[in-house]
């Protein structure tokens, strides 16, 4: 797991929002996307984290 600060999480949300075509595929709007990303990040590890995938 990679711990995310609030600034890290906010940067990820802004980055995802840059992909408008992908945004509309997964979420109805940017606010829902942000809520979903924050909920997922908090669910992994408090206060927020992201999974680190090893392939």
Q: Helices (H), strands (E): how many in the chain?
A: 3, 2
Confidence of residue 47 (pLDDT cuts 50, 70, 90): low
Q: Which residue has the higher pLDDT, 46 or 19?
A: 19
Distances (CA, A) of 30 to 3, 6, 20: 23, 18, 9
* Residue 21 to residue 55: CA distance in whole angstroms: 27
Q: Which residue has the higher pLDDT, 40 or 31?
A: 31
Residue 3: strand, helix, or coil: strand
Q: Torsion angle of alpha carbons 18, 23, 30, 53, nearest 10°?
A: -80
- Could you tell me what percent of the chain has a pLDDT over 70? 85
């Amino acid at each position: 797991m990679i711990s995310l600060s609030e600034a890290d999480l906010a940067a990820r949300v802004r980055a995802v929002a840059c992909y408008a075509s992908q945004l509309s595929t997964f979420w109805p709007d940017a606010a829902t996307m942000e809520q979903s990303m924050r909920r997922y990040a908090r669910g992994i590890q408090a206060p927020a984290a992201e999974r680190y995938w090893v392939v």
